[in-house]
Structure 1
């Protein structure tokens, strides 16, 4: 396993070895990357994640080897040579090729020919030593074999199967597919005019090298095929492929060679090409999935680590026309204090009444910020709010609603607000997203947030796994206030999970707030391992020991106490006192278990304990003159917010229903390798309008430096 993982990751052997040992001890990725740096050689969570991935791959390969060896033993065909070959195999494709000749398959043409006693004829043909093939074949005319042609055809079916099972031939075609395969599409004419087909019209007649097709294009083509609008073909130069096979097999120029040539064409067309072109397409799809999942994961990370406003009193509005705008008032901890519906827009158009109500609520609840959802009627509501004269300074934010409807109808929302309907819950979610995006977004299935490309078309198990890792890493990077956190937030803390999260909430409800990290040990079923993994990510505000509100692990408290003692100070004196901390000689605190890497982390944390790694939320205003796509003109410079990132560019909200696209070629004058190097999710930018296609509702933009 170690050898396999180091060959795949190029990481140092000792680092891999120690990381696997920690994983086998049920340590989590966030815990290992943060608190076991000496043992891993300072690997970050991405590198540890790669070790986990290849460890699972290796285990899956070993499991398949065992299953194959068992099947071969049962068939009584396992030789020591075959066993050795299987055990030495390093990938699943090669393993399946080795196993192919022994697979118990459905009734094939070759199997039927064998039952008719034609295998020895196939061997004679393959020996290519006779010209008098007809008279030899005549001896096999009996039973279900009615003629010489029947006998020869049966022999050819067996030869075709042998050709199909040859690893060298399969690998040769694989190499050709890898280098030269073309993917082509043709529209199904009866479906071409359908409305849903129009979004795929670029692919009605398309051809491209499979190895060079961008992931988003391949996924779009495969979706169009799945929806029945196009047919997809994978092709290579058939003559070259056949010539290559024949050169390996045909060694004569007689009647046997003729039969082998026919069998080769049959093997290629009926067995090799369909199987290996599907395999090539699947490999391309896997690669595209990986790319799309990576994009989604990066976007989700940026979204989860979005700028929080912090503990401020918020009035949140879920805008709407006919059904009105749902208004809620939240305290600084996100608790619902008041809710009402206002009707400033048509058909009721009570703008004056709505403005008075908003003003009164802001005064009554001492509101510090207003959060407006970015859905229907968002711009109109924002314009209305900006006309209100507030007695105090109130900041106005437009907040993404992505996934809010999923949360408001969820079991979590029903448990939290059993007496309120989905509209009130949705408004609460919008307000809380402004206060703390991470704490609110963890309540929603990450796949529903909608910051990916073709997320419904990729492998859903792999996607879910990757997104779960992102959520866990983000939650633990920020840390969690154990006394205010929800069950979903606690569930994502290293070593905790849903069951212990529930136990923490029950304990909190029965015993009041946690006063120290030691209190966490009293939670039922929260053992030593869970405490080790999770304690440092759980924060306790205003604790007696200030380290309980920091990322310093309880196992290192004694080190900090010794540091303070050596300086003749208390731990409290050390916190935030950079001048005092810099007097310490860290080398004197090194032990076999704790090295400079851990000590440097402790010092950083003492200098700025519990520092939020996220930026503070900033107010943003769209161009108030742009209300619909018809207001856009080429050459305009507009403020916008990046609301999705893909491999081919990024989408930008310029304050209207349709998002504009900055194609990768319009992000910079130089070559763009990674879109994320130029923009990040929710970044406030200035864009230039390049092109507006009103009928197709497409807007082309350029990043304005």
Structure 2
């Protein structure tokens, strides 16, 4: 059942699903399966395997809920063979909960009160619609706790209303109407409309739109505005049409019973069905919006983590500031802190000459190859200062995003790395290391603090964290990790490792020294055969005796490479990087039950360029030096910019001032834009045209300029 369920949801072959589920049950990770078990899965990629994981968890959660409900019903003596069959065949949680609803323990209801007064027989008589003198029958129920005929009939209607609410066919029908016709409408809370914080939501003060068509970013904005108390939100459908639809299913006579059923229908709809199902529809729309927003966030994070590294260069990093000065550090090629101090080139001290001399002397003393400047306060002024300095050597100058640097500098990880330095020094180190290797540094920061997405605090936090962890895991394993220099944070994302083994690897390194081979990794405490199998292919050992240890070739395939080299009459070292010789390899010769052409093709591809970094190298970028604030912008200007955030409705661009400009999807291309990522990517250097500047609201509208 599990395999069929996943295959139906994903449209993937059952054989691929079955083999992938088996590997997952054997504690294999997604990166390992997609890279080293292609024959088993039928060459599924990480996204497809991720979908299998998602629907596997969904199915298991459904089965767990079924088991709980069945046990509860059995304990209550409410479980019939027919109901059991319905529950076991339910294929989603909504159907399952509808089936359970009539038997669910709930707070005392109006229907319960009526039942306790003995009015359920009267409710059944009304529903039978066979009596012509209902009042005479109702009169028989008048007694001490039921003072009138109307009291008796009202109680019976409460019971009928509950029956209507619990009918799965009626709930399904109202759900369909909500899915097809629901409108989301907002109304501003008049006492709050003039508050400054409310202004960013003023577009939604009085808004109406089809719930099924509302874009994710707009729904999340509306819900945030409601949460902050600036607007009221309601979900609307044609209520008269909905109640008539219910009545048509129940009423089959024209006597007085029909009148009371109609009253019960109205009561059931207004009091029970509509509030519950409208909220359910809104939550379903919110879940879709969450998924969309999380997907955007995840894509952005991947692009950010796979940002261009400068590599192992000696860097001088500056965290700029005015009154508090500019904190600078000198870093070695591996990111080690060699020097730190503070300079005061800007107001109020204005010691620009002294600061320039100091930077020049430090650049000489520490053989600096590049300068990294944080993009926060005083960034532009500091960059202008740096560009006035005449260095002895050619030094590249980069402006680096500070997003999340303050989070890192105050974190436990930063305190462990630099226990004798304050947060300002740690922040500067983070800026410099981001230039050297963005991935290695950014994995130390909670992904939600990096700021590449929208409404990350409004979406499902469990789903968000899971998605972001998967994004980080993908990037770390796609690039590979130098086990002898990687931090504990970076190692923890390697396939099969995790935080505890990462800690043990660092401890082994500190006590024993650098790893000299992949075999030695097995000596790490508690790193068993399974963890080695899952991680080895993603861990690199520079300068190892066996050159394959610095490649993505898995140790389980070393024998195949040795056989290839022997057959070609060369050494393994001579085979690596030798495209001409590798062309002569007859891959079919090395096929077996365990290893097929897909894996062999990957091996040859890796041997051609072993350990190749999939990331582009960092490039210097210069903003327009005449643009300092939003007031310097004018319509029609062409400016260089860097994409610093991507959303479903467009992308934000840093043009060198405090406020980022927006390129709306309609201004990205002359044709329809289905996916913003098809036109721009994070940190891409582009040219933009200024379309509109709203200084009061600090909004800048841009257009992507076609070169």
> Which residue pairs with 1:254 in the alignment?
255
Deviation at 1:108, TM superposition (A): 0.3
- SS of equivalent residue, structure 1 residue 135: helix
Distance in 1 (alpha carbons) for counterparts of 2:671 and 2:570: 55
Deviation at 1:569, TM superposition (A): 0.8
Distance in 2 (alpha carbons) for counterparts of 1:37 and 1:455: 34
Kindly indicate whether residue 582 of structure 2 is the aligned counterpart of residue 581 of structure 1. yes
Deviation at 1:130, TM superposition (A): 1.1
- SS of equivalent residue, structure 2 residue 373: strand
> Which residue pairs with 1:543 in the alignment?
544
> Which residue pairs with 2:359 in the alignment?
358
Deviation string, structure 1 residues 438-485 (Cα, Å, up to 9, x no partner): 000000011110101100000000000000011011000000000000
> Which residue pairs with 2:602 in the alignment?
601
> Which residue pairs with 1:695 in the alignment?
696
> Which residue pairs with 1:312 in the alignment?
313
- SS of equivalent residue, structure 2 residue 207: strand
> Which residue pairs with 2:559 in the alignment?
558
Distance in 2 (alpha carbons) for counterparts of 1:15 and 1:355: 62
Deviation at 1:143, TM superposition (A): 3.3
> Which residue pairs with 2:187 in the alignment?
186
> Which residue pairs with 1:300 in the alignment?
301
Distance in 2 (alpha carbons) for counterparts of 1:17 and 1:578: 37
> Which residue pairs with 1:499 in the alignment?
500
Deviation at 1:697, TM superposition (A): 0.2
Distance in 2 (alpha carbons) for counterparts of 1:575 and 1:314: 32
Kindly indicate whether residue 119 of structure 2 is the aligned counterpart of residue 121 of structure 1. no
With 136-145 and 671-680 compared, the bigger mean Cα shift is at 136-145
- SS of equivalent residue, structure 1 residue 594: coil
> Which residue pairs with 1:645 in the alignment?
646
- SS of equivalent residue, structure 2 residue 292: helix
Distance in 1 (alpha carbons) for counterparts of 2:522 and 2:238: 68
> Which residue pairs with 1:75 in the alignment?
76
> Which residue pairs with 1:345 in the alignment?
346
Distance in 1 (alpha carbons) for counterparts of 2:283 and 2:64: 22
> Which residue pairs with 2:108 in the alignment?
107
Deviation at 1:144, TM superposition (A): 1.5
Distance in 2 (alpha carbons) for counterparts of 1:530 and 1:3: 30
Distance in 1 (alpha carbons) for counterparts of 2:450 and 2:21: 33
> Which residue pairs with 1:489 in the alignment?
490
Deviation at 1:131, TM superposition (A): 1.7
Deviation string, structure 1 residues 196-224 (Cα, Å, up to 9, x no partner): 11110111100000000000000000000
TM-score for the superposition, normalised by structure 1: 1.00
Deviation at 1:259, TM superposition (A): 0.4
> Which residue pairs with 1:686 in the alignment?
687
> Which residue pairs with 2:27 in the alignment?
26
* Structure 1: segments with no counterpart, 5+ residues: none
> Which residue pairs with 1:370 in the alignment?
371
Deviation at 1:239, TM superposition (A): 1.0
- SS of equivalent residue, structure 2 residue 107: coil
Distance in 2 (alpha carbons) for counterparts of 1:673 and 1:378: 35
- SS of equivalent residue, structure 1 residue 688: strand
- SS of equivalent residue, structure 2 residue 191: helix
Kindly indicate whether residue 428 of structure 2 is the aligned counterpart of residue 416 of structure 1. no
Deviation at 1:77, TM superposition (A): 1.1
> Which residue pairs with 1:469 in the alignment?
470
- SS of equivalent residue, structure 2 residue 496: coil
Deviation string, structure 1 residues 330-377 (Cα, Å, up to 9, x no partner): 000000000010100000000111111111111111100000000000
Deviation at 1:610, TM superposition (A): 0.3
Distance in 1 (alpha carbons) for counterparts of 2:420 and 2:239: 68
1:366-515 to 2 correspondences below 5 Å:
366-515=367-516
> Which residue pairs with 1:66 in the alignment?
67
> Which residue pairs with 1:519 in the alignment?
520
Deviation string, structure 1 residues 646-698 (Cα, Å, up to 9, x no partner): 00000000000000000011000000000000000000000000000000000
1:166-205 to 2 correspondences below 5 Å:
166-205=167-206
Deviation at 1:149, TM superposition (A): 0.6
- SS of equivalent residue, structure 1 residue 658: coil
Deviation at 1:424, TM superposition (A): 0.3
Distance in 2 (alpha carbons) for counterparts of 1:407 and 1:110: 57
Distance in 2 (alpha carbons) for counterparts of 1:372 and 1:144: 80
> Which residue pairs with 2:624 in the alignment?
623
Alignment RMSD = 0.5
Distance in 1 (alpha carbons) for counterparts of 2:213 and 2:543: 57
- SS of equivalent residue, structure 2 residue 318: strand
Distance in 2 (alpha carbons) for counterparts of 1:131 and 1:225: 51
Distance in 2 (alpha carbons) for counterparts of 1:540 and 1:454: 40
Kindly indicate whether residue 526 of structure 2 is the aligned counterpart of residue 534 of structure 1. no
- SS of equivalent residue, structure 1 residue 284: helix
Distance in 2 (alpha carbons) for counterparts of 1:402 and 1:530: 33
Deviation at 1:119, TM superposition (A): 0.4
> Which residue pairs with 2:57 in the alignment?
56
> Which residue pairs with 2:657 in the alignment?
656
Deviation string, structure 1 residues 485-541 (Cα, Å, up to 9, x no partner): 000000000000010011101100011000000000100110000000001101000
> Which residue pairs with 1:279 in the alignment?
280
Distance in 2 (alpha carbons) for counterparts of 1:614 and 1:19: 29
Deviation at 1:145, TM superposition (A): 1.1
TM-score for the superposition, normalised by structure 2: 0.99
> Which residue pairs with 2:215 in the alignment?
214
Kindly indicate whether residue 288 of structure 2 is the aligned counterpart of residue 325 of structure 1. no
- SS of equivalent residue, structure 1 residue 312: coil
Distance in 1 (alpha carbons) for counterparts of 2:276 and 2:172: 12
Distance in 1 (alpha carbons) for counterparts of 2:124 and 2:464: 49
- SS of equivalent residue, structure 2 residue 656: coil
Kindly indicate whether residue 262 of structure 2 is the aligned counterpart of residue 291 of structure 1. no
Distance in 2 (alpha carbons) for counterparts of 1:87 and 1:548: 51
Distance in 2 (alpha carbons) for counterparts of 1:131 and 1:377: 86
